[in-house]
Amino acid sequence: MHSSELIFHVRPGGHMSGRIRVPGDKSISHRAIMLGALADGVTEVSGFLEGADCLATLAAMRALGVGIETLGQGHVRVHGVGVDGLKPAAAALDLGNSGTSMRLMTGLLAGQAFASTLVGDASLSRRPMRRVTEPLRTMGAEIDTTADGTPPMRIQGGGALSGIDYDMPVASAQVKSALLLAGLYASGETCVREPAPTRDHTERMLAGFGYALSRTGDRICLRGGGRLRGTRVDVPADISSAAFFLVAASLAPGSDLTLEHVGVNPTRTGVIDILRHMGADIELLAAREVGGEPVADLRVRHAPLRGVAIPDALVPLAIDEFPAIFVAAAYAEGRTTLTGAAELRVKESDRIQVMADGLQACGVTAVPTADGIVIEGGAGRLRGGTVNSHGDHRIAMAFAVAGQCAQSPVIIQDCANVNTSFPGFVELAAQAGLDIEAAAGVDT
C-alpha cells in the first residue's frame, strides 16, 4: 500500500485518562536483535517492538542466516550464531524507512568476510550516510554509496579492520553504535568521543551480553575479538511513543493518564525535562531498573503550559520528540524557541519544515530557522486544518494529538508509516480518549 493511502481524522474534545502501555522501545528492539544474532547461544527478547522498522532489522538478520522465532506479543527468540557466524545474504537487504537499521547494520557488516548491499525506501534513500562511511573507511572498510553519500550502500567486506580513536562531529547514537559494532571486528581498540551525550543503549546492552567496554567522560572504548553471551532482554515501552501522550494529557483539561513501564534512560528523558520546564505535571512512579535500563510509570495530568527557550543541551536527549514538543509549544502561552537542532532536517522528513508547514496550515505562527523554529503559542491558536505528514510517523502522531484541543478537526495525510514505530496507535489513542479515526484515502 502506498503510504498516502492512510488518513487520520481527529475531532476536538475529550481528555486523556486511564493506564496504557505504549509499544516497545525502537532503539532497544533493534539492538536486541542485532546483538542477539551475534551472541553465542539463545537470546529471549520480551516487549519487542513489532513495528516495520524493527521487523526490517529482524528480516535482515534472518537473511544473514540467523534463526529468529517470533512467538507473538513481543516475544522473540534469537538463536545467536556468534560474532563469526553470519552468512552472506542472497539479495540486497531492504531496510525500509529505518535509519537505525541502515547505519548500525553498515557498521556490523563492514566487519564481515562477505559483501552486502543495503537499500531503503524513498525517505531512507535521501538520508546522509557519510557520517558512518567516512569513519568506517578510516578503519579499513570498503563501502560505496551514491555520489551524494546516500543509500544504496555496497559494503565490500573481506578486508581487515583496525580500531580508531574517533571524535564524532555530530552527536549521533547511530554513528557511535555503528563504530562500536565495527569495533567488535577490528584489531586493537576502537574509541568514540561524543560531543554531547546521546542514547547509550548499545553500551548498556553490550555490557549485558558480557562484552567489556569502558567509558571515560565522553569517550567510549572497546577491544575487538571478544564474544557475546546470549541473554534475556526486557524491552521497556518507548518514551518516544509515550511522548505523544505526555503532550496530549498535558494539554487537555481533566486529563490524568498513566503510561506504564516506560524506559527512562537519562539519555532519553529530555522530553520530560522540556515539558516540565513548560509547566507540565509529570510524575515518575515506581522507578526501577530492568535488564540494565531504568524504567518507570509516568503519570501525567493536565497543566497550563508556557513557551520557553529550549536549552541546547537538551536537544540530543529529546531528538525524536520535537514534533510532539512543537505541538505543546503551539498551545503554550507565549513564544517557544529552539536552536541547535539542525539534525531535525535530516530525519525521516525535514521535521523543521514539515512541522512548520503543518502548524501554519492549522493557523499557528511557526517560523523555521536554519537549526530550529520559533513558535508563537497560546490557547486557541491551533484552529485545525489539513496537514501532510510526508510519510513521517512522528509528524503524523504529533498532529493527531494536536487535534484534541483544536477549534475544529485536524486531518492528517500520509499516515501509514505510523506503523514503523507505533503499531496500534489509533486504537490505543482512542482508548486513552482521543476521537480519532483512520481511513483509506486517495493515493497520490
**Least distance (Å) from ligand S3P to the CB of residue 98?**
9
Grid coordinates given for 258: 498513566
Q: Return all residues near 425 (Cβ < 8 A) that are at least 6 apart.
A: 241, 397, 400, 418
Q: Is 215 annotated as a binding residue?
A: no
- Applying CB under 6 A, the site for ligand S3P has a residue count of 10
**Least distance (Å) from ligand S3P to the CB of residue 172?**
3
Which C-beta is closer to ligand S3P: that of 68 or that of 341?
Answer: 341
| Residue position matching grid coordinates 556490523 | 108
Task: Work out which of 3, 29, 100, 419 binds ligand S3P, going by CB under 6 A.
Answer: 100
Among 116-124, 170-178, 182-190, 265-273, the segment contacting ligand S3P (CB under 6 A): 170-178
Round to the nearest angstrom and report the end-to-end CA distance of the chain.
Answer: 11
Which C-beta is closer to ligand S3P: that of 181 or that of 298?
Answer: 181
Which C-beta is closer to ligand S3P: that of 66 or that of 317?
Answer: 317
Instruction: By CB under 6 A, tell whether 349 contacts ligand S3P.
Output: no
Instruction: By CB under 6 A, tell whether 320 contacts ligand S3P.
Output: yes
Task: Work out which of 52, 68, 155, 173 binds ligand S3P, going by CB under 6 A.
Answer: 173
Q: Is 174 annotated as a binding residue?
A: yes
**Least distance (Å) from ligand S3P to the CB of residue 106?**
13
Task: Work out which of 143, 206, 318, 319 binds ligand S3P, going by CB under 6 A.
Answer: 319
What phi and psi, each to the nearest 5 degrees, are found at residue 128? -70, 130
**Least distance (Å) from ligand S3P to the CB of residue 104?**
7
**Least distance (Å) from ligand S3P to the CB of residue 86?**
21
Grid coordinates given for 437: 479515526
| DSSP states of 194-218 | -SS----HHHHHHHHTT--EEEETT
What phi and psi, each to the nearest 5 degrees, are found at residue 174? -70, -40
Q: How far is CA 245 from CA 160, 327, 409, in A?
A: 47, 12, 18
Run of H or E including 301 = strand 293-301
**Least distance (Å) from ligand S3P to the CB of residue 100?**
4
Chain-centroid distance of CA 357 in Å reads: 22
Which C-beta is closer to ligand S3P: that of 234 or that of 320?
Answer: 320
Among 66-74, 87-95, 166-174, 243-251, the segment contacting ligand S3P (CB under 6 A): 166-174
Q: How far is CA 153 from CA 41, 112, 385, 423, in A?
A: 30, 15, 39, 28
Among 40-48, 134-142, 168-176, 360-368, the segment contacting ligand S3P (CB under 6 A): 168-176
Task: Work out which of 123, 172, 231, 250 binds ligand S3P, going by CB under 6 A.
Answer: 172
Instruction: By CB under 6 A, tell whether 174 contacts ligand S3P.
Output: yes
Active site residues: 320
Amino acid identity for residue 366 in this structure: A
Q: Is 320 annotated as a binding residue?
A: yes
Instruction: By CB under 6 A, tell whether 393 contacts ligand S3P.
Output: no
- Give CA–CA dist 182/166, Å, rounded: 13
Instruction: By CB under 6 A, tell whether 177 contacts ligand S3P.
Output: yes
In sequence order, what are the beta bridge partners of 42? Answer: 79
Task: Work out which of 37, 116, 199, 411 binds ligand S3P, going by CB under 6 A.
Answer: 199
Q: Is 103 annotated as a binding residue?
A: no
Q: Return all residues near 190 (Cβ < 8 A) that are at least 6 apart.
A: 139, 163, 164, 165, 166, 179, 180, 182, 183, 221, 222, 223, 224
| Residue position matching grid coordinates 535521501 | 126
Per-residue H/E/C for 30-88 = HHHHHHHHHCEEEEEEECCCCCHHHHHHHHHHHHCCCEEEECCCCCEEEEEECCCCCCC
Task: Work out which of 4, 27, 57, 413 binds ligand S3P, going by CB under 6 A.
Answer: 27
Among 140-148, 172-180, 250-258, 281-289, the segment contacting ligand S3P (CB under 6 A): 172-180
Chain-centroid distance of CA 417 in Å reads: 13
Q: Is 172 annotated as a binding residue?
A: yes
Q: How far is CA 229 from CA 205, 225, 235, 248, in A?
A: 11, 14, 18, 41
Q: Is 99 annotated as a binding residue?
A: yes
| Residue position matching grid coordinates 527557550 | 309
Q: Is 347 annotated as a binding residue?
A: yes
**Least distance (Å) from ligand S3P to the CB of residue 24?**
13
Instruction: Compute the chain's Rg from CA coordinates.
Output: 21
**Least distance (Å) from ligand S3P to the CB of residue 103?**
7
Which C-beta is closer to ligand S3P: that of 170 or that of 430?
Answer: 170
Among 12-20, 171-179, 248-256, 332-340, the segment contacting ligand S3P (CB under 6 A): 171-179
Q: Which residues are part of a known binding site?
A: 26-27, 31, 99, 127, 172, 174, 320, 347, 351, 394
Which residues sit in the known binding site for phosphoenolpyruvate? 26, 99, 127, 174, 351, 394
Instruction: List interacting residues with ligand S3P (CB under 6 A).
Output: 27, 100, 172-174, 177, 199, 319-320, 343
